Amino acid sequence: MQIKLDYNNMMTEFVGKHGISQGDIDALKGKISAAARAMENKRNQMAWRDLPYNQDDIVQDILLYVAEILPRIDTLVVLGIGGSALGPIALNQAIHGSFYNFCKKPRIFVIDNIDPTTMNDLFAQLNLETTLFSVVSKSGATSETMAQFMIVKDMLESRLGKERTKQQIVCTTDAQNGNLIKTAKTEGYKTFYIPSGVGGRFSQLCSVGLLPAAFCGIDIKKLLAGAAYMDKICENDQNPAYIFAILHHLALKAGKNISVMMPYSDGLKFMSDWYAQLWAESLGKKYDNNGNEVYVGQTPVKALGATDQHSQVQLYTQGPFDKVICFLTVEEFENDITIPKTFEDMPTLGFLGGNTLARLLNTQQKATEYALQKEGRPNMTITLPKINEHTMGQLFYMLEMATAFAGELLNINAFDQPGVEEGKDATYALFNRPGYEDKKAELETALPKSEKYII
């Protein structure tokens, strides 16, 4: 069961002058081969590419841990942000849908923000005796996650005692660096590791994504098998990940600086959030690898079909020519519903009867694709034959490969995030974290805001 990329509507034959021609691709040949060579040569610097293959022991450890803990747990709360949260949210939604927490155990809540209202509302829902808190942070330092962790640890210890608290917390972090690993060791928490060289947004296929997935009954071996399957496909230079990157690269060069991800499936709704982080944080860069100021990147936009046909599609079809739209579609839905032939005597409604909702949804995607194509708007479609662990593994891995390849085409480092680190450091400084005195001084000398621009 292989996912497929259909890029007909990216090409000039189909969308005219705003499309990409074979000549454009040929002209990029030198860069494409250099990027493909770099992907091979740098493979050992991209540890996330080994994850489909080198985790037998980790998978075993996760499955044993889950089997041991599950009988006494009815709720899993994941505390993490960015790459530590978006993958687990996307995968659980894909496999279990929107209403999983209403009908299955353990319930899962991924808390990727520090809004006190949300935290209080969540705590009011929980029985601490039967809740496992999974703290996830690669750096073990991110203020949001560490603050959540401190609140939870304190709450558990005061309500359940120190010994019992140990059984209610699991940490996923770097094996050596950061405060989380130190605390986890001192306190005796169960710990899973994020391999060094696997950054936050590329971590969905390591314990960051595997642990919560296994808790919710997702077959993590099949997920990794799907990723391995895509990795093999990517051994051929003509692969969907590279084509995705090449087309986006050429489109960006032609002024299409927005990348819309638009699933026609509620299950895939949060893949757009995961993709948005991956594409934005990896490719939005000030400097290239030679230190030149380049200010590159493509702004990801999240949309959902058919819902956003009634909100954003007007802009996509007739607004500025600044977008590439990527649809995500599903050939066969897990369950379908037939629309009854209720109004056969009313042709303007009766035409719906006897069709299914899946057919209507997929037809609407085709119709939107056509409307875009007719207006000369480049778009492409990734189709999953079905949503399952194997196809999701393929999709995660394909988009990671596409992002890394796009980084090579742009000659930038797709794996750092200095802009994000700047914000993290400023928070530490403003909260008087030791070691950030210079940053604090820098912030204090920043231009004070003028009252005249505040009304």
Residues that bind ligand PA5 (CB under 6 A): 81-84, 137-139, 142, 145, 199-201, 281, 417, 420
Is the CB of 81 or the CB of 330 nearer to ligand PA5? 81
Q: Which residue is nearest to ligand PA5 (CB)?
A: 200
The catalytic position among 17, 29, 310, 449 is 310
Smallest separation, CB 83 to ligand PA5 (Å): 3
Residue 270 C-alpha from the chain's centroid: 7
Is the CB of 422 or the CB of 438 nearer to ligand PA5? 422
What does the block give as tokens for 230? 């895509």
Q: Is the CB of residue 145 less than 8 Å from the CB of residue 194?
A: no
Is the CB of 87 or the CB of 106 nearer to ligand PA5? 87
Smallest separation, CB 194 to ligand PA5 (Å): 8
Q: Which residues contact 3 (CB under 8 A, 6 or more apart)?
A: 230, 240, 382, 383, 384, 385, 391, 394, 395, 398
Q: Is the CB of residue 130 less than 8 Å from the CB of residue 169?
A: no
Q: For 372-376, which contacts have Cβ atoms below 8 Å and span 24 or more sequence positions?
A: 372/9, 372/15, 372/316, 372/317, 372/325, 373/9, 373/14, 373/15, 375/317, 375/318, 376/15, 376/16, 376/17, 376/18, 376/19, 376/321
Continuous H helices in 284-417? 313-318, 347-350, 357-374, 389-410
Burial of 161 (0-12, 13-18, 19+ CB in 10 A): exposed
The catalytic position among 31, 424, 439, 440 is 424
Smallest separation, CB 280 to ligand PA5 (Å): 10
Does the annotation count 4 as an active-site position? no
Smallest separation, CB 137 to ligand PA5 (Å): 3
Is the CB of 281 or the CB of 369 nearer to ligand PA5? 281
Does the annotation count 424 as an active-site position? yes
Is the CB of 149 or the CB of 229 nearer to ligand PA5? 149
The catalytic position among 144, 281, 400, 408 is 281
Smallest separation, CB 199 to ligand PA5 (Å): 5
Indicate which residues carry an active-site annotation. Answer: 281, 310, 424
